[in-house]
Amino acid sequence: MPAADNHATRGKLHYIQDATPGFSRQWHRGKFRYLDAQGQPVKERQQLKRIEALSIPPAWQSVWICTSAQGHLQATGRDSKGRKQYLYHPAWRKLREAKKYAHMIAFGLQLPRIRQQVESDLSSPGLSRQKVLAMLIDLLENTLIRIGNDEYTKTNQSFGLTTLRHRHVDIQGSTVIFHFRGKSGVEHALTLRDRRMARLIRHLQELPGQALFQYVDEQGQRHAIGSADVNDYLQQITQGNYTAKDFRTWFGSLHTLLALSECPPCGNTAEAKKNIVAAVRIAATRLGNTPAICRNSYVHPLILDHYLSGSCFVPLTHTEDQKSAGLSTAEQYMLNLLQRSNKHRQPEREA
């Protein structure tokens, strides 16, 4: 049984693909109606109620709707830009989130190994592939800039770490200044004070070509580095399925935890919720996301649940000298918290 199918079964769902015959949507006399595979209108009240509850965006075209209320995938369609979009069953999303955040614990356990290898590669001579990849991981940790990809740059003229051009970076002494247009057209301006990184990027800027992150092979040939190369580098170090995005989930959770650790004890739930909103906003600013996306995609819910339960976090710190030993004080605290909570919740999730 495929892994995805297994997850669906565990959640008492059926694994469905949109190649399976389903319902379609048609605009008819000023409103939407739904047709079965034979082109006949769907009339069953319960089906119509379920379909309406999906809140499929009106702008979607080529809409496919699952005929079963227990399908893991409930609907697909194309948005106004022609991109395929998906609506999943709530139980499926819950399973996927549980798996995602268990993966985050495993990533935290691998961070010391990643950092050790990055430090070793940064200390190597020249501008080898390993060294430039290590630079990207170090920058990913310290700036949280999205990794980026060529396709997104070509389509949207927006940039991430691997697609930055020389014009997007200025060096002033030991300070690196990034200024570029990121995802969704958001303009980014970030400053990093790091003498070694400033020196290394200055060497990269001496190479010809527009791409900033290039390496030089043994024959003296230049090669650009992409997001797939960064993910391969992480997987070679860890022997696990880790990607650049894992850093954003880790640090989104960490910065939320750090902000909450500075809050005084709460007198009531309303005050706790207010502090959570403020903490998530801080993390969202660091990630370059909206608070809603940050909370839903990059903050481990156990951290928020722990705080809402009335438990306060001890004052925490996260500094470079602590990270060089493997994990900072705050990171180790967060990892311990997640491991304890996950151990208590795991039997329920597997039921």
- Cα torsion 303, 305, 306, 307: sign: positive
pLDDT per position as a tens digit, 252-263: 999 999 999 998
pLDDT score for 60: 96
Q: Is 50 helix (H, G, I), strand (E, B) or coil?
A: helix
Is the pLDDT at 197 greater than 50? The verdict is yes
Report, as an integer, the average pLDDT of 143-159.
89
Is the pLDDT at 273 greater than 50? The verdict is yes
Alpha carbon distance 165, 244 (integer Å): 19
| Strand 175-181 versus strand 23-28 pairing type | unpaired
pLDDT score for 313: 80
Is the pLDDT at 8 greater than 80? The verdict is no
Alpha carbon distance 346, 215 (integer Å): 44
pLDDT score for 312: 74
Could you tell me the maximum CA-CA distance found in the chain, to the nearest angstrom? Answer: 71
SS3 annotation, 231-295: HHHHHHHHCCCCCCHHHHHHHHHHHHHHHHHCCCCCCCHHHHHHHHHHHHHHHHHHHCCCHHHHH
pLDDT per position as a tens digit, 112-124: 999 999 999 999 9
Domains located in the chain, CATH noted: 3-88 (3.30.66.10), 124-238 (3.90.15.10), 245-350 (1.10.132.120)
Confidence tier at 319 by pLDDT (50, 70, 90): low
Considering only residues 121 and 4, tell me which one the structure prediction assigns the higher pLDDT: 121
The residue count for the chain? 351
Confidence tier at 351 by pLDDT (50, 70, 90): very low
pLDDT per position as a tens digit, 41-57: 999 999 999 999 999 99
Is the pLDDT at 194 greater than 90? The verdict is yes
